[in-house]
Amino acid sequence: MCYPTPQELGLAARALADEHPGEVRLRQAGTSRAGQPIWVLSVAATSGPGTDGPGGAEGPGGPVAAARADGSGGATGPVNPAYPAREDGSGGSADAARGDGGPARGDARNVLVVAGAHANEPVGGATALSLARRLLRDPAPRAGCGWHFLLCADPDGADLHRTPRPYTLLDYHRWFYRPPGPEQPEWAPSLLAADRLPPETLALLALIDELRPVLQVSLHATDLGGSWVQLTRDVPGLAEPFGTSAAELRIPVENGASDAAGWPSPGPGIFVIPQPGSEAAGAFHPEDTRLSTWYHAHRYDGTTAIVEVPMWASDLVDDPTAHPDPRGALRMLAGRLTADAALVGAAREETHGRDRDRPGPGPYEDPAAAALLRAVDWTLALIPRITAEWTGAGAPTEATAAYIASIDAFGRRLSLRAAAMLLRVLRAEGHPAAPGLDRLVTGWCEEFAARFGARWIPVATQVEHQSRTVLAAYDKLVAAGRATGRA
């Protein structure tokens, strides 16, 4: 099994919709900056609480069959057929569906699953398709609930990151791309003014407004490490099925995820994003998490879960023993990251000099090179802020070995990613610095894999674990009485 491209996802989704015309619909929710379609695949609710008629809000006998007499719906929109489509075919808004600007009426509740928000994390699209097929085989989670899958939130970025079947970390980084924060669909609202948001973000925000999901799940991945879940609100009981799935599939649980340093943890590998003003809210983040699209679902009393799964596993991130000297380790890791970043920065400076000295077009006139170099510069600029946090007064005096291992991996991947993206530009233009940077990237990949005992997790296993976790999160929300409707 390979990681599918955005184009392959669209073709597979179209085939699924054609095979199940009464239950599955595919529509375009928006258009990327480069003009690519942003597809949403929907699997209709079956009869259950909150539905209209024997087919539910999106099945036979529901609003898909005919417009409501009060004019608040119609038989048109494939993400939620109660919402009429716009003339450009991109679907209707919640306000258009309601007609009165108030809450939607008589619809099933919805779950929104977002894949491909980070270009370098391609497993999400495969998980989305797998989940849609699973819901057709076993419709129990569809009782009174429509399921909607944003197949690739950033198709332009996904086209720049090419790793259908990486065999090693070096394979993965040969064609690596991860856009800078302001160009990432989920993070852009925390970094840009509203009038500067990219179309991918606007499409996602509009979809959340339209569906008002009780649960939004964002599918993410890490290159090397373990699996963990971040939550905008606690989902009681999720730790048990999550941990069981990870154990059965031999995926380590990341108990000290660097992304969630200091956050409340109701169970192994489960982290709840802290509320403003709490001590844990001071954990390092270059963006304000609460301004991201993850929190947009809170407008409708929804919850967001971010499900991370590793491509390569390492048992080091699952070690709960106390580290003997966390501050000393963090100082060492900060020093190494600073030195590594300086090597990449020196190579980046050589490209500036070459651009000034040679006639003809420079790399910034090539859209692919320009995107890669923006990402390189963003990553390098981020590193001093991170190392300052690691060595500052707030550095922990107590920490587990798993946490230090997670920080170690995080630092390695930052400098490695910057170097790998810069190498793509240098190779393409035959820059004399390319061979040296190639040796550096190769060595860093080998050291990373050796230090962490990297073990490949088959794509099918990554997909299975994410799928189980998504279904468990919804099941636990239902059990907690938090999936009964939309505000």
Residue 83 CA to residue 57 CA, distance in Å, equals 11
Answer yes or no: are the C-beta atoms of 79 and 210 closer than 8 Å: yes
Is 484's pLDDT higher than 90? no
Q: Which two tokens stand for residue 172?
A: 């993965």
314-345 pLDDT, tens digit per residue, is 999 999 999 999 999 999 999 999 999 999 99
308-318 pLDDT, tens digit per residue, is 999 999 999 99
Residue 310 CA to residue 252 CA, distance in Å, equals 9
List, in sequence order, every beta strand (DSSP E) within 68-213.
109-114, 145-150
Is 71's pLDDT higher than 90? no
Q: Which two tokens stand for residue 118?
A: 């980070």
Residue 104 CA to residue 83 CA, distance in Å, equals 10
pLDDT band at 62 (very low <50, low <70, confident <90, very high): very low
Residue 284, C-beta contacts closer than 8 angstroms, at least 6 positions apart: 261, 385, 386, 389
Angle at 194 between CA 193 and CA 200, to 5 degrees: 110
At position 340, the amino acid (one-letter code) is: D
137-193 pLDDT, tens digit per residue, is 999 999 999 999 999 999 999 999 998 889 999 999 999 999 999 999 999 999 999
Q: How many CA atoms lie within 13 A of 204 on its CB side?
A: 33
pTM as predicted: 0.87
CA 156 to chain centre: 15
Residue 410 CA to residue 13 CA, distance in Å, equals 34
Within 10 Å of residue 335's Cβ, how many Cβ atoms?
A: 13
Angle at 265 between CA 334 and CA 336, to 5 degrees: 10
| Residue 428 φ then ψ, to 5° | -65, -30
| Residue 242 φ then ψ, to 5° | -60, -50
Residue 417 CA to residue 419 CA, distance in Å, equals 5
List, in sequence order, every beta strand (DSSP E) within 144-286.
145-150, 215-225, 228-231, 270-272
Query: To the nearest whole number, what is the mean pLDDT of the chain?
Result: 86
362-380 pLDDT, tens digit per residue, is 545 567 899 999 999 999 9
DSSP string, 271-291: EEPPPTTSGGGGS--SS-GGG
- Which of these, 334, 424, 317, lies nearest to 387 by C-alpha position? 334
260-279 pLDDT, tens digit per residue, is 888 999 999 999 998 765 65
- Rounded (10°) CA dihedral 232, 225, 112, 115: 140
DSSP string, 308-369: EEEEEE-GGGG--SBPS-HHHHHHHHHHHHHHHHHHHHHHHHHHHHHHHHS-S--GGGSHHH
H or E segment to which residue 307 belongs: strand 303-313
Instruction: Report percent pLDDT > 90 for the chain.
Output: 75
377-403 pLDDT, tens digit per residue, is 999 999 999 999 999 998 999 999 999
282-316 pLDDT, tens digit per residue, is 444 555 778 899 999 999 999 999 999 999 999 99
Cα dist. 229→253, 259, 320 in Å?
A: 10, 10, 17
Strands 37-43 and 145-150: antiparallel
- Residue 326 has a pLDDT of 96
Q: How many CA atoms lie within 13 A of 376 on its CB side?
A: 28
Cα dist. 273→147, 280, 288, 312, 386 in Å?
A: 25, 9, 11, 25, 19
